[in-house]
Amino acid sequence: MLKKSILNSLAKWKAKLKPDPYSGQDTKQRFETIFAQNDWKDAESISGPGSNSEQTKEVISTVENVIETYGISSLLDVPCGDFGWMSKVDLKGARYTGGDIVDELIETNKVRYADRKEVQFEAIDLITDTLPKADLLLVRDCLVHLHSDLIHSALNNIKRSGIRYVLMTTFTERKYNTDIHTGDWRPLNLQIEPFNLPPPLAIFNENCTENNGAYRDKCLALWDVKTL
Q: Indicate the Cα dihedral angle 35, 213, 180, 101, nearest 10°.
A: 30
**What's the CA gap between 173 and 189, in Å, rounded?**
7
Fold of 2-227: Rossmann fold (3.40.50)
pLDDT at residue 11 in the model: 57
Beta strands in 72-156 (DSSP E): 74-77, 95-100, 119-123, 136-139
Interacting residues of 223 by C-beta distance below 8 A, sequence separation 6+: 165, 166, 167, 168, 197, 198, 200, 201
CB-CB contact of 204 with 221 (8 Å)? yes
- Cβ atoms 200, 40 nearer than 8 A: no
Query: Partners of 220 in the beta sheet?
Result: 169, 204
Per residue in 93-136, pLDDT (tens digit) is: 999 999 999 999 999 999 999 999 999 999 999 999 999 999 99
- Are 203 and 210 a contacting pair, CB within 8 Å? no
Residues in the chain: 228
pLDDT category, 43, cuts 50, 70, 90? low
pLDDT at 1 over 60: no
Q: Where are the domains of the chain?
A: 2-227
Residue-wise DSSP of 165-223: EEEEEEETT-SS-----TTS-----TTSTTT-PPPPSEEEE----HHHHTTTTEEEEEE
How many other CB atoms sit within 10 Å of the CB of residue 40? 19
| 9 pLDDT above the threshold of 70 | no
Task: Report the pLDDT averaged over residues 159-188.
Answer: 97
Cα-to-chain-centroid distance, residue 83: 13
pLDDT 10s digits, 55-100: 899 999 999 999 999 999 999 999 999 999 999 999 999 999 999 9
Q: How confident is the model at residue 174 (pLDDT cuts 50, 70, 90)?
A: very high
Give me the pLDDT at residue 45, please: 52
Q: Quick one: pLDDT band at residue 51, thresholds 50, 70, 90?
A: confident
pTM: predicted TM-score of the whole model, two decimal places? 0.91
Give the chain's mean pLDDT: 92
68: phi > 0 → left, psi -120 to 50 → alpha, else beta; which? alpha
